[in-house]
């Protein structure tokens, strides 16, 4: 089972990927991580990539494909792969199809955690946490029972992430759309895109993804 998991920041993609790794023995393949690991391990492809990067050039699609091939053949990838941040272009998507095809595999699903941008802005900009125990709160949906006091630990200190503001959320959404726009039509045409409501609870999203994978 090989999938691509797509979702803008705030849709819970990281949580879902970690769960699939835990529960299904899948591996999460992020090209950035793979590249760093291959360079560090000094694999043939890693050495090639290192030379290119030291020359200040971009790592070519051919090198990235070779890296992914190396990784798909490793024993820990036998439970299937979750591609993260790759492919980014139609050429890369076609290269990935060839890589999988050479191994008698295919890309089974592209699962997109779909979000409503306005609802996402509302969700993210209102959230804050207890500075002491980390309990999560929200301006509109989950205020502490006693104003200014954490329900769990009684602390009076709370904090907000600096990038949890509307402008930052809209910028991240625009970046996400820019990254997925080149590949979604390719996969839509193949009929492999499954959209899951990324605004639902973690449990509901998990269940919806499991239904897709087990169908
Ligand atoms: Zn607390």
Give yes or no for a contact between 198 and 9, defined as CB atoms under 8 angstroms apart: no
Q: How far is the CA of 173 from the centre of ligand 1 (A)?
A: 30
Listing from the earlier edge strand, what are the strands of the sheet with 136-138? 136-138, 127-130, 158-159
Element housing 136 (H / E) = strand 136-138
- Segment-wise mean pLDDT, segments of 10 residues, the chain, 215 residues: 90 91 92 88 90 89 90 84 90 94 95 92 92 95 96 97 90 91 94 94 95 94
Contact 209, 203 (CB under 8 A): no
Task: Give catalytic residues, as residue numbers.
Answer: 13, 88, 127, 161, 172
What is the token pair recorded at 40? 């560090």
CA angle 139, 145, 150 (to 5 degrees): 80
DSSP string of 28-59, one letter each residue: EEEHHHHHHHHHHHT-HHHHHHHHHHHTT-PP
**So what's the pLDDT on residue 30?**
86
CA of 156 to the centre of ligand 1 (A): 8
Q: Rounded to whole angstroms, how far apart are CA atoms 167 and 176?
A: 14
Is residue 96 within 8 Å of 110, Cβ to Cβ? no
- Helix, strand, coil percent values for the chain (each to nearest 5): 50, 15, 35
C-alpha to C-alpha distance for 86 and 107, rounded to whole angstroms: 12
- At 59, phi and psi to the nearest 5? -70, 125
Tell me how far apart the terminal alpha carbons of the chain are, to the nearest angstrom. Answer: 12
Give the integer Cα–Cα distance in Å for 105 and 50.
29
Find the 147 Cα to ligand 1 centroid distance in Å. 13
Task: Provide the token pair at 19.
Answer: 């769960």
Is the separation of the CB atoms in 196 and 113 below 8 Å? yes
Ligand 1 centroid, distance to 153 Cα (angstroms): 4
Ligand 1 centroid to Cα of residue 129, in Å, is 8
Q: What is the pLDDT of residue 10?
A: 77
Contact 3, 215 (CB under 8 A): no
């Amino acid at each position: 089972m090989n999938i691509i998991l797509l979702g803008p920041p705030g849709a819970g993609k990281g949580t879902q990927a970690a769960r699939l790794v835990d529960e299904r023995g899948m591996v999460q393949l992020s090209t950035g991580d793979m590249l760093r690991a291959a360079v560090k391990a000094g694999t043939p492809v890693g050495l090639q990539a290192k030379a290119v990067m030291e020359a200040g050039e971009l790592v070519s699609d051919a090198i990235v494909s070779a890296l992914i091939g190396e990784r798909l053949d490793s024993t820990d990838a036998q439970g299937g792969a979750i591609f993260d941040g790759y492919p980014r272009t139609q050429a890369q998507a076609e290269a990935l199809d060839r890589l999988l095809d050479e191994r008698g595999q295919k890309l089974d699903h592209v699962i997109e955690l779909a979000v409503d941008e306005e609802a996402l802005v509302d969700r993210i900009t209102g959230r804050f946490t207890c500075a002491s125990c980390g309990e999560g709160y929200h301006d509109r949906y989950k205020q502490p029972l006693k104003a200014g006091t954490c329900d769990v630990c009684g602390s009076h200190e709370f904090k907000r992430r600096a990038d949890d503001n509307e402008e930052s959320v809209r910028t991240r959404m625009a970046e996400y759309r820019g990254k997925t726009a080149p590949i979604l039509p390719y996969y839509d045409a193949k009929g492999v895109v499954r959209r899951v409501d990324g605004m639902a609870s973690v449990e509901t999203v998990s269940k919806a993804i499991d239904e897709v994978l087990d169908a």
